[in-house]
């Protein structure tokens, strides 16, 4: 009895610490109270440390008691009997979520310590940490989620904070453009996720994972959905995961996301955020297991992404893009492992990869120094590193592959040309129709917005 | 080897050559670069559409492009950060003119924003008296002219400087007038007296209508409006109501007055000329965004120095060829605007069109006339100046990168950029024209008109300026009301003529003057004491001229009063290519403008050869393994194995290096000990072959060359007699982590490398008995008891490394130990002084704590400010150290030792020194100053999103042009001001130097630095202004004194004033 109370307390600590941090930073910022750098970084460090210790506590209890499944039920928050609908707030600590929560706290804690020095005297210091705490909360909520709606809300927090941190340097155009791009891709994947969640509700009246993956503890659950239903929900969830984890065809956003300060790039796109899609697939792996089609497509998607990304990584001429694609290639492999049903391997792979890549990205500004050190050790300038495939392939094919890799698989262009631009064209056509219609009604061909200057003048230029 | 003759032809003795092309390629009218720039800016553009571009010959185009290329950032690869004046090409113009021209060309700010200067004015950093002085100097005779009936021009402009005038866009102003208290309350700085007088006179005017019966209709109309709005019951009106009436009246009067006079003042912007700017003005679409995405990717891939694991195939082909190869294949998926590209490229190939011909065709296509061509080409290059500059650098200085490009690449780059510009512009302009043919000249005019109307000040904006000024200057509304339209015109012209730019210029000069007068006062007071012959010191130490060494030397002199220090350019006159014992290749250790002709390598002593061989093998094995790991971790299969199998282990170094940086670096250091090459090494300094070369016998110098180097460096600093038993030569370098701009912290005189090897080489040469014999023949007698020791000061963690200690004779061991103790003590004190500038460090520290802190910062991955380099530099003293010894210069002064008493009548030594010191120090200073003024424009922005690209430079975030200049974290505490030179010499001598050296003359005469002289005999100070030396007028006669430097600086973060140290002052007075 006391063990279960202790477990609940620990879990509440795990969830409560990031919530408290986000709430307090958010409220204080909202009230416009300026905060000291030291206060913010101390608060963040203490929070992550508390969370980490609590999560380790849960792990210890689970190991000693042999319990492998600790649900934390906060009851129904919305309950509409007549429609058989209820919104159930439930968190689950099991073999999947506990390691992931620990990883989240560990990396976030380390990175926040790093950032508090790295961003010293930066005007956006508070904003960074506010978004960062939002991200932390999102990660913890989505990893520990026990229902699909809770996972979705955490997922949204992660998405929002990622996009805002990509656009962290608001004063330049590129971060804003790329942030918007990331956000758009996230919206697409969120839409798929949301439809899946609604479909699930429709069939089951609830979004509990227990319903999808069975009552058994992860990874040994068996889905209670019918194969028919699985075939509906599965692809939607795969799209959701593909958007979040930058799998083909969404891969283009990942290198573009390297716009924020180095540590945020490291923790988001090197480690945690980019693995969230894989985490989702891991969570619902019993559903994938039900159909060869689903698991087959996951394998193909993963392998194709991995092959493409490892090629792209080799030709990138800047360190961050190169690491972004490297990271993506491993995410692809992890996704493929999930498709093959190698859940433990995928989990271990994910944890290891997150740590390794974070370290590499944090050290990215040291690249020149590392490169020189390596040259000095080898006693010569580094020559081209010939990969196996480059040696066997004929010249023309090799050149073609190089182009394919340098152009990042033409993925962005393809999305722009075949999806975005027809859509934009359609909307612009609608705009023209609407305008014609208002002009007809108004009897006047002049709109107020026509006179808004395209380029506004800045005062400093006044002479 | 490409065309490198243009930029630098160097001899041993002249270290500086300005970067101007030698004309003579063609007979076109004189095309001095800045002259051409000026012309293009003063002429209205595009009037001569009739002229075709056909007349542009290849030579003309080529020269135009090369002229424009002089404007590109000359920084070169980031691994050897070069401190050069970002406006080097403008040095032939007076400072303000060059700066403002540069600011227009590059689109950067020339001075700080006005608000910043006003803050300084409020804080007293800018003094009113300086403001008045500068203003009077600028205005000259025009100062006392009356502006209408409203006072003299001088008072009028001073009022504009003293009180902030606010201005917003029209929409913003509407809001301010309607919603804020602008029409409710007087401006805060209006005195009570002025207020009362204004109110009373308004009252008189309003309440006595009959007295103004004959007033013009406009006046009565105004009165009516006011009465209507506020009513007639004057008696009950409170003061607040009167204030509102008064201000309303004033505002209306101003509007009326402005309304009467047409807006003659057009913003001086000429119309856009690049198609990108035309489209941007017309529809707010940025075609550069499209073009640059392609260019960034292609340039980085083509110019890559080995960063990508898989580099571009055929990158040995020429730039243009490689691009054609890459893009001429038809691809199904391609950006819409790029669709026509393959066909165009194939056509160009078929017709064998040369890049220059292509440029000409495109100019023609855009309707660019011959007169506009230089401007157009320049703007097109500068729009992508990071990569363009890098290409130009790699082409003109092939010695500075491992894989240079062929000459002519910049032209190919420009052709490519224009071709892409054309495609993107046509793509975007389609929307403007809806199918009909695009006539660029029409579009350009359209855009020009639009730009002009947008830039012109609107009525409300102009009126609001007068409204504010009237309050401050006590111009009564009634007086204004009675002004004639001509008077209004004059008034407006006067206000708008005294533009924001001009005001900032005056603030800036006043700001510089405040420091100048304080600094010169301090030196004047300090040099009052007569110089006395000191006894032979216990030891002497020569350091780099660097401002960072100022504090170190000051502390060293305080710790050991019987020591003497010198300052000299940090390469110690040893210009060499150097390869350390564990280095893969040679590095250039001399100023960037010098191309060294000698090679020096470091060899392991014979006894250690076996150890060396073994360790090198281990290093190679480990290096190969770590390469495998690095490449493997990014690839498919081995990446999977590594990350799944060992990835979790990475969390250990991750957490350790972030949370416990000190500890983790200690672990690393002790691990490295087993790999490091043996410490017993020698420089291979003596050449056996006839001619120098990088291998075997070619390495090193012959004895005559060594003698010459030694003579030069000793004469430069005036150390030709009174040698102590021990003389240290101290180079410097900086060791820090995770910092692509690390080389900006290293020795600037060694091309951004540590200068220890130079110091070591000089010391070794001076210890050579054959060199000493030769030196004695020319009058430099070095006693046999004198030992030279080379050392390197690590400016980041304040440690010293000594070279060749095994050669110190036993007779000198005690001397060495004593000196080393003093140096170590000085290190701690220096660390303490540096710590005061770090905002994140506690204010009260002991030297030992400070020492730990600086060491920690050097080892911390997360530290973006491991040190501050030469930040805050403001002064450069060229003269004997005794003149400034014991004076606190706050790490803001470069110190160059020079003894005028040892120089000849032609000032040969001074000329030699200044030839290097003036351009180098002014380059460093202007780099910091401009990077601080506009951190994103002149500098490279904040470090946080920097991304190393192609091993050549950094980009902002995922993709951007290469960024040159200093990062914000390296210059945020700098105070932007031109370097103040204090030279211990006479006007005659400096004039002789200036007449001999054009580069130095340009910088000094045109005011790129401030120049003042300290007379070697009388100690009188003169200041150089407008070609004349004026005596400096002291404002203070006393300096504060401290017994311990730390008393002055501990606990304070900002720049500090000058102070003397009691002990040293008293030792000077016998």
CB within 8 Å of A84: residues ≥ 6 apart: A205
Q: How far is A304 from chain B (nearest CA, A)?
A: 11
Whether residue A435 sits in one domain with residue A359: no
Residue B244's Cα: distance from chain center in Å?
A: 49
DSSP annotation string for A170-220:
TTSHHHHHHHHHHHHHHHHHHHHHHHHHHHHHHHHSS-BHHHHH-SSPTTS
Task: Test A310 with B309 for CB contact under 8 angstroms.
Answer: no
Phi, psi of B49 (to 5 degrees): -65, -20
Whole-number pLDDT of residue A384: 67
Smallest Cβ–Cβ distance between B955 and the set A113, A263, A318 belongs to: A318
Position B247 in a domain: yes
The CA distances from residue B573 to A385, B568, B616, B714, B763, in Å, are: 40, 9, 32, 10, 12
Position B413 in a domain: yes
**Residue B396, domain extent:** 285-435
Smallest Cβ–Cβ distance between A375 and the set B308, B584, B865 belongs to: B584
Residue whose token pair is 């900032």: B504
Whole-number pLDDT of residue B226: 81
Whole-number pLDDT of residue B812: 95
Task: Test B948 with A367 for CB contact under 8 angstroms.
Answer: yes
B406 in Cβ contact with B399 (< 8 Å): no
Position B169 in a domain: yes
Position A397 in a domain: no
| Cβ count near B318 (within 10 Å) | 16
Position B858 in a domain: no
Whether residue A268 sits in one domain with residue A202: yes
Whether residue A420 sits in one domain with residue A356: no
The CA distances from residue A450 to A442, A454, B170, B283, B505, in Å, are: 15, 9, 17, 11, 38
Whether residue B383 sits in one domain with residue B421: yes
Whether residue A434 sits in one domain with residue A352: no
Whole-number pLDDT of residue B10: 31
Position A375 in a domain: no
CB within 8 Å of A350: residues ≥ 6 apart: A100, A275, A278, A279, A282, A334
Whether residue A302 sits in one domain with residue A435: no
B799: left (phi over 0), alpha (psi -120 to 50) or beta: beta
Which of B451, B500, B635 best probes binding to A when mutated, by most A CB atoms within 10 angstroms? B635
Task: Test A369 with B742 for CB contact under 8 angstroms.
Answer: yes
Q: How many domains does chain A have?
A: 2
**What are the structure tokens assigned to B882, written together?**
């005794």
Q: Which residues pair with B894 in a beta bridge?
A: B876
Whether residue B237 sits in one domain with residue B368: no
Whether residue A89 sits in one domain with residue A12: yes
Residue whose token pair is 């490091």: B676
A407 in Cβ contact with A415 (< 8 Å): no
Q: How many domains does chain B have?
A: 3
Whether residue B212 sits in one domain with residue B120: yes
**Which of A364, A379, A402 is the last residue in one of the domains?**
A364
Question: How does pLDDT run across A145-184, given as a tens digit for each residue?
Answer: 988 889 999 999 999 999 999 999 988 889 999 999 999 9
Count chain A–chain B contacts defined by CB atoms under 8 A.
320
Q: Crossing angle of helices B661-672/B651-659, nearest 10°? A: 120
Whole-number pLDDT of residue B51: 46
Which of B283, B297, B298, B310 best probes binding to A when mutated, by most A CB atoms within 10 angstroms? B310
For residue A454, name the pLDDT band (cuts at 50, 70, 90): low
Whether residue B152 sits in one domain with residue B295: no
Smallest Cβ–Cβ distance between A356 and the set B286, B583, B650 belongs to: B650
Position B557 in a domain: no
Task: Test B333 with A314 for CB contact under 8 angstroms.
Answer: no
For residue A216, name the pLDDT band (cuts at 50, 70, 90): low
The CA distances from residue A52 to A102, A111, B328, in Å, are: 6, 14, 56
Position A405 in a domain: no
Q: Which residue has the higher pLDDT, A451 or B234?
A: B234
Whether residue A301 sits in one domain with residue A195: yes
Chain B residues with beta carbon closer than 8 angstroms to that of A313 = 309, 634-635
Whole-number pLDDT of residue B210: 57
Nearest to B896, CA basis, from B910, B723, B564: B910
The CA distances from residue B406 to B393, B413, B598, in Å, are: 11, 12, 25
Task: Test B636 with A256 for CB contact under 8 angstroms.
Answer: no
Whole-number pLDDT of residue B56: 77
Whether residue B415 sits in one domain with residue B487: no
Whether residue B246 sits in one domain with residue B307: no
Whether residue A274 sits in one domain with residue A211: yes
Whether residue B469 sits in one domain with residue B613: no
Chain B residues with beta carbon closer than 8 angstroms to that of A177 = 289
CB within 8 Å of B374: residues ≥ 6 apart: B36, B40, B64, B67, B68
Nearest to B795, CA basis, from B1058, B1054, B550, B1047: B550
Chain B residues with beta carbon closer than 8 angstroms to that of A106 = 651, 655
**Residue A90, domain extent:** 2-364
CB within 8 Å of B104: residues ≥ 6 apart: B41
Whether residue B317 sits in one domain with residue B252: no
* Predicted ipTM of the assembly: 0.93
Position B308 in a domain: yes
Chain B residues with beta carbon closer than 8 angstroms to that of A351 = 647-648
For residue A411, name the pLDDT band (cuts at 50, 70, 90): very high
Whether residue B489 sits in one domain with residue B425: no
Task: Test A368 with B283 for CB contact under 8 angstroms.
Answer: no
Chain B residues with beta carbon closer than 8 angstroms to that of A402 = 310, 312-313
Task: Test A368 with B658 for CB contact under 8 angstroms.
Answer: no
Of the CA atoms within 13 Å of residue B1017, those in its CB half-sphere come to 3
Whether residue A335 sits in one domain with residue A419: no
Position A355 in a domain: yes
Whether residue B326 sits in one domain with residue B395: yes
Whether residue B343 sits in one domain with residue B252: no
Task: Test B168 with A306 for CB contact under 8 angstroms.
Answer: no
Q: How far is B741 from chain A (nearest CA, A)?
A: 9
Whole-number pLDDT of residue B11: 30
Residue whose token pair is 């032939």: B92
Whole-number pLDDT of residue B421: 95
What pTM does this model have? Answer: 0.92
Chain A residues with beta carbon closer than 8 angstroms to that of B304 = 317
Whether residue A201 sits in one domain with residue A135: yes
Position A378 in a domain: no
Whether residue B478 sits in one domain with residue B418: no
Which of A42, A265, A317 best probes binding to B when mutated, by most B CB atoms within 10 angstroms? A317
Chain B residues with beta carbon closer than 8 angstroms to that of A460 = 109, 113, 500
Give the Cα separation of B338 and B279 in Å (integer).
18
DSSP annotation of B750 reads: G
Give the Cα separation of B838 and B1049 in Å (integer).
13
DSSP annotation of B963 reads: B
DSSP annotation of B970 reads: H
Whole-number pLDDT of residue B146: 85
Task: Test B304 with A377 for CB contact under 8 angstroms.
Answer: no
Position A280 in a domain: yes
Smallest Cβ–Cβ distance between A454 and the set B284, B306, B329 belongs to: B284
Residue of B nearest to A389 (CA): B310
Q: How far is A51 from chain B (nearest CA, A)?
A: 16
Chain B residues with beta carbon closer than 8 angstroms to that of A355 = 647-651, 654
Residue of B nearest to A166 (CA): B957
Position A434 in a domain: yes
**Which of B654, B672, B690 is the last residue in one of the domains?**
B672
Task: Test A459 with B333 for CB contact under 8 angstroms.
Answer: no
**What are the structure tokens assigned to A388, written together?**
């196996």
Give the Cα separation of A386 and B449 in Å (integer).
57
Of the CA atoms within 13 Å of residue B168, those in its CB half-sphere come to 8
DSSP annotation string for A3-52:
HHHHHHHHHHHHHHHHHHHHHHHHHHHHTT----HHHHHHHHHHHHHHHH
Chain A residues with beta carbon closer than 8 angstroms to that of B312 = 315, 402, 406
Whether residue A228 sits in one domain with residue A94: yes
Position A387 in a domain: no
B80 in Cβ contact with B743 (< 8 Å): yes
Chunked mean pLDDT (size 10), chain B, 1070 residues: 34 31 35 39 40 69 93 90 90 94 92 90 92 92 82 88 79 83 85 86 76 63 81 80 88 87 59 88 88 95 91 86 87 86 92 92 90 92 95 92 92 96 90 72 83 69 86 83 84 85 94 95 91 88 95 95 94 94 92 90 92 92 90 86 87 91 90 88 92 90 95 94 95 92 91 94 96 95 96 95 95 96 96 93 92 93 92 95 94 96 94 93 95 93 93 93 93 95 96 94 95 94 93 92 93 92 62
- The alpha helices in A316-449, defined as continuous H runs, are 319-339, 343-362, 367-378, 388-392, 395-406, 411-415, 421-442
Smallest Cβ–Cβ distance between B958 and the set A178, A367, A463 belongs to: A178
**Which of B672, B702, B718 is the last residue in one of the domains?**
B672
Chain B residues with beta carbon closer than 8 angstroms to that of A266 = none
Give the Cα separation of B1024 and B1004 in Å (integer).
9
Smallest Cβ–Cβ distance between A314 and the set B308, B402, B454 belongs to: B308
Q: What is the largest CA-CA distance in chain B?
A: 112
Of the CA atoms within 13 Å of residue B905, those in its CB half-sphere come to 0
What mean pLDDT is predicted for residues A445-458?
A: 62
């Amino acid at each position: 009895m006391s063990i279960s109370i202790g477990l609940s307390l620990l879990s509440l600590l795990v969830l409560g610490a990031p919530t408290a941090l986000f709430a307090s930073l958010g409220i204080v910022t909202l009230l416009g109270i300026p905060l000291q750098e030291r206060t913010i970084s101390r608060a963040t460090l203490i929070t992550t440390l508390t969370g980490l210790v609590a999560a380790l506590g849960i792990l210890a209890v689970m190991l000693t008691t042999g319990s492998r499944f600790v649900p934390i039920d906060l009851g129904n928050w919305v309950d509409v009997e007549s429609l058989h609908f209820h919104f159930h707030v439930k968190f689950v600590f099991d073999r999947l979520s506990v390691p992931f929560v620990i990883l989240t706290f560990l990396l976030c804690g380390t990175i926040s310590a790093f950032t508090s020095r790295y961003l010293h005297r930066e005007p956006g210091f508070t904003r960074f940490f506010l978004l960062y705490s939002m991200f932390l909360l999102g990660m913890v909520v989505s990893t520990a989620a026990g229902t699909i709606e809770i996972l979705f809300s955490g997922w949204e927090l992660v998405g929002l904070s990622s996009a805002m941190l990509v656009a962290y340097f608001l004063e330049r155009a590129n971060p804003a453009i790329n942030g918007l791009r990331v956000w758009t891709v996230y919206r697409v994947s969120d839409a798929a996720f949301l439809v899946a969640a609604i479909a699930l509700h429709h069939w089951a009246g609830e979004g509990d994972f227990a319903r999808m993956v069975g009552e058994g503890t992860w990874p040994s659950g068996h889905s209670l959905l019918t194969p028919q239903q699985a075939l509906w929900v599965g692809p939607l969830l795969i799209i959701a995961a593909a958007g979040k984890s930058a799998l083909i065809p969404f891969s283009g956003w990942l290198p573009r996301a390297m716009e924020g300060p180095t540590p945020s790039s490291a923790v988001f796109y090197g480690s945690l955020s980019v693995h969230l899609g894989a985490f989702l697939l891991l969570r619902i792996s019993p559903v994938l297991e039900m159909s060869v089609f689903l698991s087959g497509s996951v394998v193909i998607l993963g392998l194709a992404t991995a092959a493409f990304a490892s090629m792209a990584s080799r030709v990138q001429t800047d360190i961050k893009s190169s690491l972004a694609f490297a990271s993506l290639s491993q995410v692809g492999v992890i996704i493929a492992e999930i498709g093959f049903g190698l859940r433990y391997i995928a989990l271990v792979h994910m944890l290891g990869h997150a740590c390794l890549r974070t370290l590499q990205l944090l050290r990215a500004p040291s690249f020149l120094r590392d490169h020189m050190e390596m040259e000095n050790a080898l006693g010569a300038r580094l020559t081209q590193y010939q990969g196996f495939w480059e040696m066997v392939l004929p010249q023309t094919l090799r050149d073609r592959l190089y182009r394919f890799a340098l152009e990042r698989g033409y993925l962005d262009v393809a999305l722009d040309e075949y999806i975005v631009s027809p859509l934009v064209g359609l909307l612009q056509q609608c705009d023209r129709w609407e305008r014609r219609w208002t002009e007809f009604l108004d009897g006047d061909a002049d709109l107020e917005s026509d006179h808004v200057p395209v380029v506004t003048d800045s005062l400093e230029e006044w002479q | 080897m490409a065309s490198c003759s243009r930029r630098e032809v160097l001899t041993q003795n002249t270290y500086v050559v300005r970067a101007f092309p030698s004309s003579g390629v063609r007979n076109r009218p004189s095309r001095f670069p800045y002259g051409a720039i000026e012309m293009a800016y003063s002429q209205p553009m595009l009037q001569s559409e009739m002229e075709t571009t056909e007349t542009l010959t290849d030579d003309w185009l080529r020269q135009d492009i090369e002229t424009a290329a002089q404007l590109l950032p000359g920084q070169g690869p980031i691994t050897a950060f070069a401190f050069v004046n970002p406006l080097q090409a403008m040095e032939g113009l007076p400072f303000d003119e060059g700066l403002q021209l540069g600011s227009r060309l590059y689109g950067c700010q020339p001075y700080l924003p006005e608000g910043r200067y006003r803050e300084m004015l409020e804080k007293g950093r800018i003094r009113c008296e300086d403001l008045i002085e500068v203003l009077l100097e600028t205005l000259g005779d025009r100062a006392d002219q009356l502006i209408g009936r409203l006072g003299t021009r001088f008072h009028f402009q001073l009022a504009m400087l003293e009180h902030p005038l606010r201005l917003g866009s029209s929409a913003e102003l509407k809001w301010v007038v309607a919603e804020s208290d602008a029409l409710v309350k007087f401006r805060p700085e209006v005195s009570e007296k002025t207020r009362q007088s204004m109110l009373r006179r308004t009252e008189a005017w309003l309440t006595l209508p009959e007295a103004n019966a004959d007033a013009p209709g406009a006046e009565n109309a105004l009165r009516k409006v006011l009465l209507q709005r506020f009513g007639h019951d004057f008696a009950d009106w409170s003061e607040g109501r009167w204030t509102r009436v008064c201000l309303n009246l004033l505002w209306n009067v101003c509007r009326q007055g402005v309304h009467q006079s047409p807006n003659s003042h057009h913003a001086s912007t000429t119309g856009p000329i690049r198609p990108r700017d035309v489209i941007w003005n017309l529809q707010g679409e940025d075609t550069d965004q499209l073009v640059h995405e392609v260019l960034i990717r292609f340039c980085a891939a083509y110019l890559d120095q080995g960063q990508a694991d898989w580099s571009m195939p055929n990158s040995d082909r020429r730039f243009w060829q490689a691009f054609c190869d890459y893009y001429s294949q038809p691809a199904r998926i391609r950006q819409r605007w790029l669709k026509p590209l393959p066909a165009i490229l194939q056509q160009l190939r078929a017709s064998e069109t040369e890049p220059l011909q292509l440029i000409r065709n495109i100019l023609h296509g855009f309707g660019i006339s011959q007169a506009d061509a230089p401007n157009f080409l320049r703007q097109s290059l500068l729009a992508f100046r990071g990569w363009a500059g890098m290409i130009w650098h790699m082409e003109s200085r092939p010695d500075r990168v491992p894989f240079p490009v062929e000459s002519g690449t910049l032209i190919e780059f420009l052709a490519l950029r224009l071709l892409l510009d054309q495609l993107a512009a046509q793509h975007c302009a389609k929307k403007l024209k809806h199918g009909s043919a695009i006539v660029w000249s029409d579009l350009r005019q359209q855009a020009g008109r639009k730009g002009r109307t947008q830039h012109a000040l609107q009525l409300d904006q102009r009126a609001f300026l007068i409204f504010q000024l009237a309050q401050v200057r006590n111009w009564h509304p009634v007086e204004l009301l009675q002004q004639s339209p001509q008077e209004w015109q004059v008034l407006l012209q006067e206000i708008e003529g005294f533009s924001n730019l001009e005001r900032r210029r005056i603030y800036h000069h006043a700001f510089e003057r405040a420091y100048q007068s304080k600094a010169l006062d301090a030196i004047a007071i300090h040099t009052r004491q007569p110089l006395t012959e000191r006894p032979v010191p216990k030891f002497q130490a020569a350091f780099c001229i660097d401002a960072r060494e100022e504090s170190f030397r000051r502390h060293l002199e305080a710790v050991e009063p019987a020591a003497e220090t010198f300052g000299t350019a940090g390469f110690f006159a040893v210009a060499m290519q150097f390869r350390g014992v564990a280095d893969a290749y040679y590095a250039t250790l001399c100023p960037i403008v010098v191309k060294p002709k000698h090679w020096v390598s470091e060899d392991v002593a014979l006894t250690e050869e076996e150890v060396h061989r073994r360790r090198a093998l281990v290093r190679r094995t480990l290096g190969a393994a770590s390469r495998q790991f690095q490449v493997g971790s990014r690839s498919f299969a081995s990446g999977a194995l590594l990350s799944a199998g060992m990835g979790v282990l990475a969390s250990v170094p991750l957490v350790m290096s972030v949370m416990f940086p000190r500890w983790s670096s200690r672990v690393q250091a002790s691990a490295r000990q087993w790999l490091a090459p043996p410490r017993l090494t020698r420089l291979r300094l003596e050449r056996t072959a006839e001619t120098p070369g990088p291998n075997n016998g070619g390495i090193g110098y012959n004895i005559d060359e060594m003698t010459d180097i030694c003579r030069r460096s000793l004469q430069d600093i005036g150390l030709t007699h009174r040698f102590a038993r021990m003389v240290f030569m101290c180079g410097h370098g900086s060791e820090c982590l995770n910092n692509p701009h690390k080389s900006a912290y290293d020795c600037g005189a060694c091309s951004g490398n540590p200068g220890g090897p130079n110091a070591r080489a000089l010391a070794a040469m001076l210890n050579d008995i054959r060199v000493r014999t030769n030196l004695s023949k020319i009058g430099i007698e070095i006693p046999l008891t004198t030992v030279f020791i080379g050392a390197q000061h690590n400016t980041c963690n304040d440690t010293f490394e000594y070279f060749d200690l095994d050669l110190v004779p036993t007779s000198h061991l005690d001397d060495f130990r004593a000196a080393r103790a003093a140096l170590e003590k000085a290190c701690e004190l220096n660390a303490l002084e540096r710590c005061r500038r770090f905002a994140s460090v506690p204010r009260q520290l002991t030297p030992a704590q400070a020492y730990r802190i600086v060491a920690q910062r050097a080892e911390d991955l997360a530290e973006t400010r491991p040190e501050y380099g030469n930040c805050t530099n403001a002064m450069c003293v060229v003269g004997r150290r005794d003149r400034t010894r014991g004076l606190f210069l706050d790490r803001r002064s470069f110190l160059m030792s020079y003894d005028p008493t040892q120089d000849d009548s032609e000032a040969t030594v001074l000329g030699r020194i200044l030839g290097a010191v003036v351009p180098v120090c002014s380059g460093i200073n202007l780099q910091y100053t401009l990077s601080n003024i506009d951190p994103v424009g002149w500098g490279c922005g904040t470090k946080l999103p920097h991304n190393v690209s192609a091993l050549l430079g950094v980009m902002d975030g995922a993709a951007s042009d290469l960024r040159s200049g200093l990062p914000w974290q390296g210059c945020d505490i700098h105070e932007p001001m031109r370097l103040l030179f204090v030279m211990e010499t006479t006007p005659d001598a400096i004039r002789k130097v200036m007449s001999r050296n054009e580069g130095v003359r340009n910088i000094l005469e045109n005011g790129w630095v401030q120049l003042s002289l300290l007379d070697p005999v009388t100690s009188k100070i003169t200041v150089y202004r407008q070609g004349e030396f004026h005596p400096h007028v002291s404002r203070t006669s006393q300096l504060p004194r401290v017994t311990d430097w730390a008393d002055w600086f501990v606990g304070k973060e900002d720049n500090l004033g000058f102070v003397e140290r009691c002990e040293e002052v008293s030792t000077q007075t016998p």
